[in-house]
Amino acid sequence: MRIELQTEGGIAFFPGLNKPVVVDSGDLPKEQAAQLQQLIDSTHLFDLPAASRSLPKGAADMRRYTITVEDDRRRRTVRLNDPIEDTRLQALIDFLQDQRGSQGRAADSSTPSDPQ
Which backbone phi and psi does 40 adopt, to 5 degrees? -60, -45
Cα–Cα distance, 14 to 22 (Å, whole number): 19
Span 72-81, pLDDT tens digits: 899 999 999 8
Cα 28 to chain centroid distance, Å, stands at 15
Domain 2-102, CATH class in plain words? alpha beta
- Read off the pTM: 0.79
Helix (H) or strand (E) holding 42: helix 30-43
pLDDT tens-digit map of 11-43: 665 655 678 999 999 999 999 999 999 999 999
